[in-house]
Amino acid sequence: MIERYTLPEMGRVWSDRHRYELWCRVETLVLEAHAAAGRVPADVVEPVRTAPPPTPERVAEIEETTQHDVIAFLTAWADNTQPRSAAAYVHHGMTSSDLLDTALAVQLTEATDLLLARLDRLVAVLRDHALAHRDTIRVGRTHGVHAEPDVWGHRVADLAFAAARSRDRLRAARERVGVVAISGAVGTYSLIDPSVEVAVAAALDLRPADASTQVVLRDSISEWVACLAIVATVCETVALEVRHGQRTEVRELSEAFGSGQKGSSAMPHKKNPIRSERIAGLARVVRAAVVPVMEGIPLWHERDISHSSTERVFLPDAAVTTDYLLHLTTGLVEGLVVDAGRMRANLESTGGLIYTSAVLLELVEGGASREDAYALVQSAAMETWTSGTPFRETLRVRAKDAGVELDEARLDDICRPERYVAALGPLFDRVAALT
């Protein structure tokens, strides 16, 4: 991922330098387990443990010749080991995937922990925003068309719970990707004892793979990426709500606009939802990772490396982009400008059409058939759409023509937006309890 969208902590997790640090750690843990069991000389452990990790530049230089990244790493690290002879026992009984997949599991869990912390923050920000606007009346929309009265906090509450569910999915996926597989070529433990895998897993606070083969089957990693795609899409859902609300014709919501900020190179009046649009665009990047990573599940026999090149691109990019998306979305909600007056004006702009459901039910409960009541209310509503005459007036005329008596006091009571939101109290009790 380009530097523009890479935050420092997540960038470090996926850096070449950190990857080689993890490779050194895994190899050292394996060597310590061998030495503890008496399979290798005990005096080789300390020289290996204290040898500095090789630089990415040195590994790349050697790989130009070896065309094998693990061998290049081992050679470069051996050059840093004093005495160099101690390095002979590094990678003892292992195959490349033992190192690669175990270190990758550490990277995936480290990245997940950063993402979970950001999700905690996003859930809290959405929760607090929903509670702050539990009484901010707005019109609810279906198909983009005014439907019935609602409150802004209701919509945000739905997004808060979606973010919390996304966090729960990712937390579960963390457990499944956090596996250690150190079992040698084709995973038969023929040259390495299973106790080594157990010891390394314990030291890394991970767990041994259920069936350790040469390569960890990519179903769990695919699930992890899918969880990131859902997180990204929930972020996009928040952004889409803001993009709609910031349109000139709606003007109910707007992104924070800082001092000195410019909206357009040509039109000085513009205040564009650039943060929301960036979220929408980058969510596509994360979703694009799902299929390529999933195609790494079926490999030839015990192993091929068709998954390797794909994962070098898509795993870091998905994690880095999701991290940035969560950062953007949290800031978006924190700085969101809500125009309650404009929300109320938009709600009233259709002359009362948003109360047709209540009027329909009132007529049915008064003894009219649903078919007759619907026809009466719809005909009045269509006249309001075309003429702009308030719905209550067109309803009176249509009711009189149909010989239907209206209870004006009752209509006054039911045609109030506050009436629609009174039942949302239990929802906001659940929102308040969301952590």
179-233 confidence digits (pLDDT tens): 999 999 888 999 999 999 999 999 999 999 998 787 888 999 999 999 999 999 9
pLDDT tens per residue, range 262-277: 776 677 777 888 899 9
What pLDDT digit, counting tens, does each position of 73-119 carry? 999 999 999 999 999 999 999 999 999 999 999 999 999 999 999 99
On the 0-12 / 13-18 / 19+ scale of CB atoms within 10 A, 46 is exposed
**408-427 tens-digit pLDDT:** 999 999 899 988 888 899 99
Q: With beta carbons less than 8 A apart as the criterion, state whether 394 and 121 touch.
A: no
CB 6 within 8 A of CB 320: yes
Q: Which two tokens stand for residue 283?
A: 């969510």
- State both tokens at 256: 């924070």
Give the integer Cα–Cα distance in Å for 349 and 182: 67
Residue 301's CB is within 10 A of a number of other CB atoms, namely: 8
Please identify which of the residues 143, 259, 269, 301 carries the catalytic annotation. 143
Residue for token pair 């009436």? 419
Residue 308 has pLDDT above 90, yes or no: no
Asked if 264 is an active-site residue, the reply is yes
Catalytic residue among 195, 264, 349, 369, which? 264
Q: Give the pairing of strands 145-151 and 179-180.
A: unpaired
Q: Where are the beta strands (DSSP E) in 152-221?
A: 179-180, 207-208
Q: Under a CB-based contact definition with an 8 Å cutoff, are residues 421 and 137 in contact?
A: yes
């606070």: which residue's tokens?
Answer: 205
262 token code pair: 């410019």
Cα(126)–Cα(114) distance, integer angstroms = 19
Q: Crossing angle of helices 16-36/96-132, nearest 10°?
A: 120
308 assigned to active site: no
- Residue of 268, 319, 261 lying closest to 289 (CA atoms): 319
Cα gap 29→49, rounded to integer Å = 9
Distance of CA 114 to the CA centre of its chain: 12
pLDDT in tens, 279-297: 999 999 999 999 999 999 8
Angle between helices 356-365 and 370-387 (to 10 degrees): 150
DSSP class of residue 405 equals P
Which of 324, 334, 332 lies closest to 118 in space, CA to CA? 324
By CB neighbour count within 10 A (0-12 exposed, 13-18 middle, 19+ buried), where does 125 fall?
A: buried
